[in-house]
Structure 1
Amino acid sequence: MFDLAQLPLIGRTSELADIVTALTRNGTGVIIAGQGGVGKSRLAQEALAAARRAGRHTYRLAATSDSAKIPFAVLAHLIPAAPRDETEHLWVLRAVMQRISGTDVARPVVLGIDDIHHLDTASAALIYQMATRRRVTLVATMQVGVQVCESVAALWKDGLAQLLNLDPLPPEVVDEIVRAALGPRVYRTTLEEIRRLSAGNPLLLRYLLIDGVEGGNLIERNGMWGWEGEARSGPRLADLVRAHLNRLGDPERVVVELTAQVESLPLAVLEQLCDRGAIASAEHAGLLIPARSGEWPPAMRLQYPLHATVIRETTPVSRTRQLRASLARAYADQPSQGVENVDVMATLRLDSDTDTDSDLQLRGACTAFGKGALIDAERLVRSAIRGGAGAPASRLLATILCWRGDRGDATSQLRAQPASHEPSRTDDGSPVWDRGRLTVNKLEGIPVAGTFFAPFSREIDNVERSERDAAWRAWMLYAEGQCGAALDVVARVFGTSRIQATTGGWECVVAAAASVELGRLSEAFGFLKQGRAQRHLWPPCRWVEAALGLVHCRALLLSGRLVEARRLADDAFVEAARLGSAELSGMWAGAVGLVAKFQGQMLTARSILQEAVSLTGAGSAWGLRFYHEALLAESVALSYKAHGSGRPPQAAATDVRHPIRSVEISMGLSHAWVVQAGGEATRAVRLARRAAAAAAANNLPTLEAFALYDIARLGAGHDVVSRLESLTSCLEGDLFAGLASAAAALTSGDGCHLDAATEELARCGLSLHAAELAGAALRAHRATGRLTSARRSFERRSALSSACEDARTPLLEPGIVLTTLTQREREVAGLAAAGRSSREIAELLTVSVRTVDNHLSRTYSKFGITGRSQLANVMGHPARAPAKS
């Protein structure tokens, strides 16, 4: 870790090289212009140091606003006592020239000047004369947007110095600096927040890191750096921003304080409260910039979001309430702004002395929820409830609490709903769905469907009851794994040719998700297209967008388009992190991890899934935390032993009912790989068979196909090939056909068929699965003496394995293990190599200790070894003390 007080100079290599070339080869000065804190002085210091190494004399001057009031103050340390008979200015000119450039004519002089815009006119004139006479070459810094005297401006106008505009650091350089300072493992959401807050300003970045680490807000847990709670400012940042504000006049200060209160402030609102000249002055000084380029109506924000954060944190409460009250009244006077920013206006009223309106608070809460701002939404809806907003507000609060992971309070809100939301009934009077099981399920009270449409309660109330209940019913049928029935409901009520999106677009989500799980991928893509085309029919909601995106990602994955799925998930994750929504970020982090796992990139999967777990609370909506934990455990299991851990991966909780049946089955399949990594191969196969049977019972053919193929990967696929081949008739896409071919090839042991299956899965992006097949092909070709084919398979396996980031599965075990031992011998040998005693192995496998010892004896004989320590090396386990039998 670097010293945070002096971060490494990263990302300025080309600028530094250009400056040094100008100074030492071309003899041309450089004036580095930029915003405060952008790194001008640091770059100038490095340039001066390079000039000294090149044999130049160097001097450094530092001008300030105070020194500008006194002639030659910046040069005082270079001026000897003046004789009385000399004209002062002329004598100073000669004396400084002699002092600076007369010591060694053979060695050119480089003069560094910090903040050259603060030079007094006399000093500026003197330095201009020295530059004109080629006595010095300048490297100076200058603040942009400030007035400079004529002599300074003449430096670049007359070609005596180049003007270099220094831009903020690009995002990838900010990431590089952060990793250099903290270490390589930093949560991506933390990187995105640091990018946003620092806006590429090195000084702000340094203070943000120092204050974060020293204040205990930026901490390392489980080897990963991240913010503990929201990123906050510290004393250094507060002092820095306070110094900026103290240099402003009162009108400009008010402009900055008002703009800091909201993320994006409409210019019409700002102009209603502030003098236009003050606004222009703040913009000219680089404090205020357009919120988005080309936006209409225009809106403004502070250039550095960190300044806004510090101002909000350090402004006295009474002053904050005054500022927000003024903004609330100004918003109300702008009808169009009031409609577009109802959540902002409601929050401003809530945080000021302005009278609140429960109807406004509820509408604001709906808008904030739609934007993904759950904290603001919860504050507003609770205010609305206190004001008597009634059942719609309670339903919305239950939804928000569900998304935030507060299961207990969400369930209480849900149970308090009136009976009008009972399910529709069939002709014989029986309920279509079981409210007790589906609305509040066994996952410690996670609400699944009862709050699903609450954000759109006003729109839903205007919809026919049958349509509203049908949307609920379709979602709950999907959650129970009855995807065909869910699609039937959607088709019957909303029509097959065009979904009308009357309940917020969720029926599009349900229809697409159900189609994906049934393997009807072209149909799923059609529903997704309809959903996006009809977004204008429902209120803006990031949750609908996220749900559509997640289904799209899974559809791409099952279509064998893993590169596209990864790109979609990565982009959405970055956007969610930019918005600052932990819930949305957690959802997309899990999606990135899922695709990375299928791509065989286990290091990436482990890292991003660890972040997904940290971002999703224990009671998160849809049980995401449990799912992410299962995926993380599986990704660790699939690289266990390769990453050198002496402890087997820990399985996620398996005794918890997940609210979505398909996810529950997937979690069971993940658990099988965790068990396998612990050496219990027989039990792993049993768990995979259980997942396949559950998927078949629920008519979830895509999940069944993956479970069946995993059985084959675990070495027990002799009886699954025919079922897997039969499933391909109802599953679209090359991926499932590839899995069926691969399972058949693994069972037959035919090298040529294994080579063909390798290429099929490689084309689908399943690098780990393809590497396994290439390894199997290598062993098959060697067994039949086809050495040329074996060499090609070896090269293919090596290429595929290199992309898999230390993956380790049974099919990637050393060839001697797979070809020499029976399945039971491999299982016993693996457990013994992992440090288990014979008695422990016997208990795990439900056999006698003598049986275990007999298997081990045969294994030692086949390998020509004498004990467990040698066995660990053969099996590829990390070195450890062997257990006693």
Structure 2
Amino acid sequence: MPLGTTGRDDTLQVVRVALDDPGTSVILIAGEAGVGKSHLLGLVGAEPGLVVVDDLHRYDDHARAAALTAAREPGQTLVATVRTEAGRFPEEIAAFGYDPGVVVVVVEPFTGAEMEAFVGELLGGAVDARLSAEVCRRSGGIALFAAQLVNEARSRGVIERSASGWFLTAPLMVPVGLRQQLAVRLDGLSAAGVAAAELLAGSDALTVEAAERSGHAPGLDALSAAGVARWDQDVLRFVHPLYAEVVWEPLSPLRRRAVLREQLALEAGSAAPDPVRLAVLGLGAGEPADPGSLLVAARLANAAGNAESACRLAEAALAAGTGDQVAAAAGLLAGAQAELGLLDAATDTLLGALARTEPGPAAIVLAVTLHEVRLWGRFDQPGAAAALHAEARRYPDGAPFVTEAFAIAEADGLAYAGRAGDAVRLLDSVPAAELPPPLASMLATSRAHATTLLGRTAEAITIATGAHEQLVELLESSVPGSRSKHLVIASHALREHGRIPEAIEYAERAHALALADGIVVGRAWAALNVAAGLLQAGDLEAAATWAQRSLVAATSAGMVDCERLALGALCVCDGSRGREPDADLVERLRTLPDGVGFLLHQLPIGLAWAAYARGARATALDLLRAGQDRAAADDAVSSESWIIHERLRMGDPTRLDDRLGELATGAPLARARHLLAAGLADADAELLRSAGDAFAALGARLFAAEAYATAARAAAGRPAAALRRRAAAEAARVGSPVTPLLRGIAADPLSPRERLIAEAAAAGESNAQIATRLTLSLRTVENHLARAYAKLGIESRAQLDGSLDVRSD
């Protein structure tokens, strides 16, 4: 299928710039096999004067010389692809680089973002980040290999399409054709080389020290010499990750165990053995399972964010363990299952383990973990609370930390369900000073979450970004997913306070961790928070991309509450850009099951923008007013403040500054909203300008542009012109969306003749020179410039240069 320029726009632009340079005689499009050099060459197209050659390195000396001679003819340019090996040119091509007329354009393997776009175009729809990341990892970013992996996965049904996009349901398989293609490079290896390849295939990488101790040094050198493996400083890896699979797949179970035992011995003999790696290798090699060691390794794997290894190790410990080991293994296994999106399996694991575990600390951890799974994964707050109460009845009054642990977990559930005030009151009853570190971390995370919802964002930030981060690592080993959840809650607090760039950075960190660890639940919530931060920043295009990522992940895992919020964010993105959202998307948003409805107060915002975009402004404002009433009744301060802001952005004529003043609890974002409301209510240009300044200082470019635009309408003369220019400049930074408050503001204030004369003056021409060139009187030129100064809000010719860069054609 045609792939357009996906992932290669920048590289193609470099080629085209080189083509426009008359000094260029040869353009070499260079890169490793399969990166898409030939595809890029095809995009260059056939033009007069171009000599196009694919795989120049395959030509003989005479043919290459003829091509180079032709390129040196006047008006001729040779554009050719050349395959490199480990970044090096073939010997017969290297000499080309010394010619001053030669431009080398290197085609690199796809980055993660480029691969996401590439796979999306291959499949014709949005893709889950885990799918694109796995294709990128397995293909090494090579476009050809990626396309083969995707096509094979689609034909075998290991990727599926949900209502939101494509997601992975089983491991990717190496296509037969690609396997044979790679096997050709392995066919000529000696017996020593084959044995070394098998060892490397089972370990992914070998250090120099391990290679020396392995007894396979000659074979490993042979792999390097054959171009199959490559030394990266002191670490040897296959040149492509798929080689490991091609080598490993045909091995018999007995041979695999033998290889894994070799690796186990190497790891055990290293200076600092890795307990997780030892445990994983031991399982693969069929060594006797020690549940205690497996549990230690599972906790370490979980703390390191390796959910898949934690799941495997905990499952083995559960099968071999007894007594408290069963509960500990079940808690770890269920936590890892939940983070991988296996929510039903996690629930079953926990319920089964609770039934077999006597009351005590182990059972408390199981109950708290079950609460987390039911709450954040299955949006079942009543069921989660019921499980806690049922477990609490098994303990006598005064049992240490039982009441505290369950109160903290239940408070988290209350905040999730929109009852943040009740959550804080419950948390206030917990004696924080007496808690062990894991419970102290849970308490702090829950309090940060609840106080954010109540608008007490400064307090929430102090908790979420302070020493509490150190406690999260202690909690992570017993309650999986704590790290990702902490980062997401910190992002939420920072965003609602107005520290927007930091909020986006926290959420991106959470997403990167979740993606690297294969965690579905954390990835969905993190992507949603990146989208929310970008919405506040006004970058609607990027916000829509992240909301779509959240939506695909949430839909694949059945996370209805997260799915609802992602759909709402997409509606806001479309509506704010003057686009009517897809009707199916809006219908899904309306008809999703209620669930608990995490941040349900924000649902009307998405529906309102969808209504506004189809021209139903009155309906949109009614939705927002009703949503605000519900948020106010539930004391959802952050949500109510946002809803009021959206009413202002849609031009609601109601005076709203008094209510925003009551909600402004010290957060800079809330203060900026209050200034906007007060300025609109009184048509006060100075207040509106101050609101624009406040939003701009927070990095909320779109909101700043809207505030300046309304200030310009309230002002007159030069101040109005200056404010219009600031509005247009801020809007241009986020793509100049056509929001209700920005309509008409970005139009060029100058007439064509005024702009022509102003641009000539800015370029340094005198009034007399302009008059002579345009056949005008000097007085006419002066009058046009005077009108241009007034419209632009400036005083002199010296200010022209920075005032002419924003206009709408």
Specify if TM > 0.5: yes
Residue aligning to 1:753:
687
Aligned to 2:776: none
Aligned to 1:400: 336
**Structure 1 counterpart of 2:184, from 222, 228, 243:** 243
The 3 A distance-change label for structure 1 pair 177 and 626 is closer
| Matched AA of 2:315 | R
CA contact under 8 A between 1:33 and 1:166: conserved in structure 2?
yes
Query: What does the per-residue CA deviation read over 1:624-655, in whole Å, with 9 as the maximum and x for residues that have no partner?
Result: 33433343344444446457979966524565
**Could you tell me whether the CA contact under 8 Å between 1:404 and 1:620 is conserved in 2?**
no
What CA distance in whole angstroms lies between the structure 2 residues aligned with 1:439 and 1:571?
A: 19
Q: Is contact 2:427–2:443 with CA below 8 Å preserved after alignment?
A: no
Residue in structure 2 matched with residue 833 of structure 1 by the alignment: none
Aligned counterpart, 2:661: 725
Relative to structure 1, the CA distance from residue 580 to residue 110 in structure 2 (aligned partners, 3 Å threshold; closer, same or farther) is farther
Alignment of 1:133-148 (within 5 A): 143=85
Instruction: Give the residue type in structure 1 aligned to 2:482.
Output: V
Specify the code of the residue in structure 2 equivalent to 1:606. Answer: A
Q: 1:277 to 1:52 in 2, by over 3 A?
A: farther
Equivalent residue runs for 1:566-645 within 5 Å: 566-570=504-508, 572-574=510-512, 576-617=514-555, 623-639=561-577, 641=579
> Gaps (5+ residues) in structure 2?
73-79, 365-370, 392-398, 746-809
| Cα 1:774–1:398 shift into 2, 3 Å | same
Matched, 1:308 2:244: yes
Give the aligned partner of residue 517 of structure 1.
453
1:532 and 2:465 equivalent? no
TM-score by length of 1: 0.64
Q: Give the counterpart of 1:702 among 618, 621, 638.
A: 638
Assess if the C-alpha contact under 8 Å between 2:162 and 2:555 holds in 1: no
* 2:288 aligned residue: 355
Q: Post-superposition shift, 1:739?
A: 0.9
Q: 2:140 corresponds to which residue?
A: 199
Query: 2:654 is paired with a residue of what secondary structure?
Result: coil
Q: Is the alpha carbon distance of 1:285 and 1:774 closer, same or farther for their aligned partners in structure 2, counting shifts above 3 Å?
A: same
Question: CA separation in 2, counterparts of 1:538 and 1:772?
Answer: 44
Instruction: Say yes or no: does 1:738 pair with 2:672.
Output: yes
**1:199-598 superposed matches below 5 A:** 199-201=140-142, 204-205=145-146, 207-208=148-149, 211=152, 230-262=171-203, 272-283=213-224, 285=226, 287-288=228-229, 301-313=237-249, 315-317=251-253, 319-328=255-264, 330-332=266-268, 336-339=272-275, 342=276, 344-388=277-321, 389-416=325-352, 417=354, 418=357, 420=359, 443=380, 447=384, 468-469=405-406, 471-472=408-409, 475-476=412-413, 478-479=415-416, 481-482=419-420, 486=424, 489=427, 493-495=431-433, 501-503=437-439, 505-527=441-463, 528-534=465-471, 537=474, 543-570=481-508, 572-574=510-512, 576-598=514-536
CA contact (8 A) 1:404 1:583 kept: yes
Are the counterparts in 2 of residues 33 and 142 from structure 1 also a CA contact under 8 Å?
yes
Q: Determine helix, strand or coil for the equivalent of 2:646.
A: helix
- Give the Cα–Cα distance (whole angstroms) in 1 for the partners of residues 41 and 568 of structure 2: 52
| Offset of residue 273 of structure 1 | 4.3
Distance 1:13 1:358 in 2: 58
How far residue 544 of structure 1 moved from its aligned partner, in angstroms, is: 3.1
Distance 1:493 1:188, change over 3 A: same
| Selected match of 1:766 from 663, 675, 700 | 700
Q: 1:1-20 maps to which residues of 2 (within 5 A)?
A: 2=2, 11=11
- In structure 2, what is the Cα distance between the partners aligned to 1:372 and 1:621? 21
Equivalent position amino acid for 1:703 in 2: S
Aligned residue in 2 for 1:667:
603
Instruction: Please give the alpha-carbon distance, in whole angstroms, between the structure 1 residues aligned to 2:491 and 2:280.
Output: 35
Where 1:2 maps in the other structure, the secondary structure is coil
Distance 1:486 1:251 in 2: 66
SS of residue paired to 1:233: coil
CA contact (8 A) 1:449 1:475 kept: no
Unaligned runs of 5+ in 1: 64-73, 76-96, 112-137, 426-433, 455-461, 816-885
Partner amino acid, structure 2, of 1:532: E
Q: Given the superposition, is the C-alpha separation of residues 529 and 60 from structure 1 closer, same or farther in structure 2, using an over 3 Å criterion?
A: closer
CA distance in 2, matches of 1:243, 1:5: 31
Q: Deviations over 1:552-603 (max 9, x none)?
A: 3223322323234334434553554455444443232212211222233333
Query: Structure 1 236/580 Cα, relative in aligned 2: closer, same or farther at 3 Å?
Result: farther
Match of residue 854 from structure 1: none
Residue deviations 1:461-499, cap 9 Å, x none? x99657645653553454453368548847963349xx9
SS in 2 for 1:718: coil
Report the alpha carbon displacement of residue 766 of structure 1 after superposing the two structures with TM. Answer: 3.2
Query: Which amino acid in structure 1 is aligned with residue 691 of structure 2?
Result: A
* Separation (CA, whole Å) in 1 of partners of 2:580 and 2:707: 19
What displacement does 1:736 show?
Answer: 0.7
The residue number in structure 2 matching 1:846 is: none
Shift in alpha-carbon separation, 1:34–1:477, aligned structure 2, 3 A: closer
Instruction: Name the aligned partner's letter for residue 533 of structure 2.
Output: V
Q: Deviations over 1:318-368 (max 9, x none)?
A: 5444433543455455584242xx2x4444444443333333444444344
Change (3 A) 1:805 1:19: closer
Deviations along 1:116-163, one digit per CA (max 9) or x if unpaired, are xxxxxxxxxxxxxxxxxxxxxx99877569999xxx799979x99999
For the 8 Å contact 2:497–2:668, the answer to whether it is kept is yes
CA contact (8 A) 1:751 1:777 kept: yes
Q: Who is 2:395 aligned against?
A: none
1:269·1:330 contact (CA, 8 Å) conserved in 2? yes
AA partner of residue 761 (structure 1):
F
Aligned counterparts of 2:15 and 2:696: Cα–Cα separation in 1: 43
- Equivalents in 1 of 2:6, 2:410: separation in Å? 60
**8 Å contact from structure 2 (residues 334, 345) kept in 1:** yes
Change (3 A) 1:641 1:415: same
Change (3 A) 1:518 1:153: same
Q: Partners in 2 of 1:195 and 1:737 — Cα distance?
A: 44
Q: Shift of the alpha carbon at 1:737? A: 0.8
Aligned mates of 1:299, 1:503 — CA distance in 2: 41
Structure showing greater Rg: 1
Amino acid at match of 2:525: M
**Contact 1:11 1:169 survives alignment (8 Å):** no
- Tell me the matched-pair count: 711
> AA paired with 2:218?
G
- Tell me the distance in 2 between the aligned counterparts of 1:279 and 1:490: 62
**Inter-partner Cα distance in structure 1 for 2:20 and 2:243:** 33
In structure 2, what residue type is equivalent to 1:547?
K
Cα distance in 2 for partners of 1:622, 1:647 equals: 14
One-letter amino acid of the structure 2 residue matched with residue 562 of structure 1: I
Distance in 1 between the 2:212 and 2:279 partners? 20
* Paired AA for residue 487 in structure 2: G
How far is the alpha carbon of 1:513 from its aligned partner? 2.8
More helix by share: 2
1:657 equivalenced with 2:595 (yes/no): yes
User: What letter is aligned with 2:318?
Assistant: I
